[in-house]
């Protein structure tokens, strides 16, 4: 049994909020650089150059990569042999508040979705999973809402063809078009229940995006193949950086799956803008 205090978790989350918002993920930065190298259109190249320069300025000058510092989604993978002392939920929200204040990050959360009100820093969205072992993995994903607004879920018939699912995903990216800061990263959740598919789609954004092109690309699993096919198909849409055309509409697509019911086939898609931000620490 490992004992971790809520106070310790608060401090870790505070730091993760700052790191996620100021330092662009390495896999995203290399994806952007690869997109820049292969781009042939002058304007698309200029925009990718600006995006890469933006990441450098953000890291160097400690400025948020994007002014939409998102709604922080906090993922906790809690080992079953971990005991947390203190008020965990409070610690998470406090940690986010502290981090956001310390990092000069934007207060974008309003306390009531209908009456709105003055924006603050919390409460955030928390996902917990129980896993084996005595470790606690904490991930902060500040999710921008321009892209969050493009999210969709579709409950397919269990007899649906893969091509129907592909069409749903590609059509969704096409309808997001220039509005949600392409080039995108696409998270897909397939299976489970409606809510769980959505959770998987978000979780898919946490995985590194180079699987389609990197070392593991040769692993010929069905899902890998589907990811690669979808990536090619989406990039044929020619939406490009800022939607002004170009080789790269999608930097990467990650699919997570889970068993489901005999009567159903839920598919959830959660798009991220090019500024996909997350930071992780394991205690």
Partner 1 sequence: MKRINTPLTKSEIERLKVGEEILLSGIIYTARDQAHKRLVEAINKNKKTPIDLKGQIIYYCGPTPVPKGKIIGSCGPTTSSRMDEFTPALLKKGILAMIGKGRRSRQVIQAIKKYKAVYFLTYAGCGALLSKYVKKNKPVAYKDLGPEAIYKLEVRDFPLIVSIDTKGISIYK
Q: Which spans of this chain sit near partner 1 (rule: CB under 8 A)?
A: 47, 50-51, 53-55, 57-58, 61-69, 104-108, 116, 118-119, 146, 149, 177-181, 242-244, 273-275
CB of 2 to partner 1, least distance (A): 36
Please name which of 100, 85, 82 lies closest in space to residue 6, comparing C-alpha atoms.
Answer: 85
Please name which of 100, 267, 102, 82 lies closest in space to residue 192, comparing C-alpha atoms.
Answer: 267
DSSP 189: E
Identify which of residues 194 and 244 has a Cβ nearer to partner 1 in the complex: 244
Identify which of residues 57 and 130 has a Cβ nearer to partner 1 in the complex: 57
CB of 119 to partner 1, least distance (A): 5
Q: What does R_g of the chain's alpha carbons equal in angstroms? A: 19
CB of 101 to partner 1, least distance (A): 8
CB of 124 to partner 1, least distance (A): 17
CB of 52 to partner 1, least distance (A): 10
Is the bond preceding residue 188 a cis peptide, omega within 30 degrees? no
Identify which of residues 86 and 177 has a Cβ nearer to partner 1 in the complex: 177
CB of 143 to partner 1, least distance (A): 13
Identify which of residues 53 and 89 has a Cβ nearer to partner 1 in the complex: 53
Cα–Cα distance for residue pair 223/253, rounded to 1 Å: 11
Cα–Cα distance for residue pair 32/228, rounded to 1 Å: 17
- With contact defined as beta carbons under 8 Å apart, do 271 and 204 qualify? no
Cα–Cα distance for residue pair 169/50, rounded to 1 Å: 28
Identify which of residues 16 and 88 has a Cβ nearer to partner 1 in the complex: 16
Cα–Cα distance for residue pair 133/80, rounded to 1 Å: 6
6-22 and 88-102 helices cross at what angle (nearest 10)? 40
- With contact defined as beta carbons under 8 Å apart, do 252 and 31 qualify? yes
Identify which of residues 238 and 257 has a Cβ nearer to partner 1 in the complex: 238
């Amino acid at each position: 049994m490992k004992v971790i205090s809520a106070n310790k978790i608060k401090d870790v989350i505070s730091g993760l909020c700052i790191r996620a918002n100021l330092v662009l993920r390495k896999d995203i930065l290399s994806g952007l650089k690869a997109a820049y190298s292969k781009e042939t259109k002058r304007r698309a190249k200029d925009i990718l150059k600006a995006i890469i320069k933006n990441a450098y300025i953000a890291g160097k000058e400690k400025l948020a990569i994007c002014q939409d510092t998102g709604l922080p989604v906090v993922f906790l993978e809690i080992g079953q042999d971990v005991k947390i002392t203190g008020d965990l939920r409070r610690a998470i929200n406090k940690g986010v508040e502290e981090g956001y204040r310390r990092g000069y990050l934007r207060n974008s959360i309003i306390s009531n979705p209908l009456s709105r009100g003055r924006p603050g820093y919390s409460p955030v969205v928390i996902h917990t999973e129980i896993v084996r072992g005595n470790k606690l993995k904490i991930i902060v994903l500040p999710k921008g809402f321009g892209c969050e607004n493009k999210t969709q879920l579709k409950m397919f018939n269990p007899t649906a063809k893969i091509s129907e699912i592909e069409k749903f995903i590609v059509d969704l990216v096409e309808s997001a078009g220039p509005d949600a800061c392409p080039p995108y990263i696409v998270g897909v959740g397939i299976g489970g229940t409606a809510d769980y598919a959505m959770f998987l789609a978000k979780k898919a954004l946490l995985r590194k995006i180079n699987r389609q092109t990197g070392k593991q690309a040769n692993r010929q699993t069905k899902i890998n193949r589907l990811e690669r096919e979808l990536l090619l198909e989406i990039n044929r849409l020619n939406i490009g950086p800022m939607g002004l055309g170009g080789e790269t509409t999608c930097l990467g697509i990650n699919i997570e799956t889970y068993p489901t019911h005999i009567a159903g086939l839920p598919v959830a898609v959660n798009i991220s803008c090019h500024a996909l931000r997350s930071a992780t620490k394991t205690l």
